[in-house]
């Protein structure tokens, strides 16, 4: 059986939960049900540890250059996205991924980098509530959804900030493996938001 790879990108100052939230959902699914034919890998430019926004150090599984072909690419957000918005090499890499990866997803301000690369042109999209205006400024053709936890536009999914990436990842499981599997994963990680405040 050919295993399909879901890659979650890591970079300096990535927001922790943007990356680790989807990782929890997707790795619970893929490890519990390897028969579904998916794996999850953390990707980075180098194999060295990445220091996230609040100081958590994360180790990638593979470099971007050595990663297998991806079925899904998840681009997290955080302050680390800001320099990437103006990095021509990063934006060109994303455009090349658009040509080969069937499904691109973002969490939080990862959508800003997609916008800067032209990937969200003419599409509905969302991001962290503090960056909704900026998303529209980067590309006025984007139909900014200010209310959604995530927006599925077929081959591109964007999610709102931080914890919304968990919702988006559960939606991914639903899309890729079915509703029953997604419900099982949600129960398995005991994700049932009922905020105390």
Sheet containing strand 4-9, edge to edge, reads 62-63, 38-44, 4-9, 70-75, 103-107, 156-159, 150-152
Q: Give the integer Cα–Cα distance in Å for 192 and 5.
A: 27
pTM tops 0.95, yes or no: yes
Using one digit for the tens of pLDDT, what is the confidence trace for 140-185? 999 999 999 999 999 999 999 999 999 999 999 999 999 999 999 9
Catalytic residue numbers, as ranges? 108
CA geometry: angle at 86 spanning 81 and 87, to 5°? 85
Residue 112 phi/psi, 5-degree rounding, is -65, -40
């Amino acid at each position: 059986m050919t295993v399909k790879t879901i890659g979650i990108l890591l970079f300096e100052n990535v927001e922790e939960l943007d990356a680790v939230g989807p990782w929890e959902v997707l790795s619970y699914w893929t490890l519990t049900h390897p028969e579904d034919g998916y794996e999850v890998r953390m990707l980075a430019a180098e194999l060295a540890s990445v220091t996230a926004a609040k100081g958590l150090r994360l180790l990638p599984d593979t470099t971007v250059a050595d990663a297998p072909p991806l079925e899904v690419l998840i681009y997290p957000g955080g302050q680390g996205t800001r320099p990437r918005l103006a990095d021509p090499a990063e934006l060109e890499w994303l455009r090349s991924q658009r040509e080969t990866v069937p499904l691109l997803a973002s969490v939080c301000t990862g959508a800003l980098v997609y916008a800067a690369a032209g990937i969200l042109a003419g599409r509905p999209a969302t991001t962290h509530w503090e960056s909704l205006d900026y998303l529209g400024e980067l590309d006025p053709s984007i139909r900014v959804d200010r209310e959604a936890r995530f927006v599925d536009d077929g081959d591109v999914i964007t999610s709102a900030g931080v914890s919304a990436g968990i919702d988006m990842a559960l939606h991914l499981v639903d899309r890729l493996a079915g509703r029953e599997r997604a419900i099982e994963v949600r129960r398995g990680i005991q994700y049932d938001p009922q905020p105390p405040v």
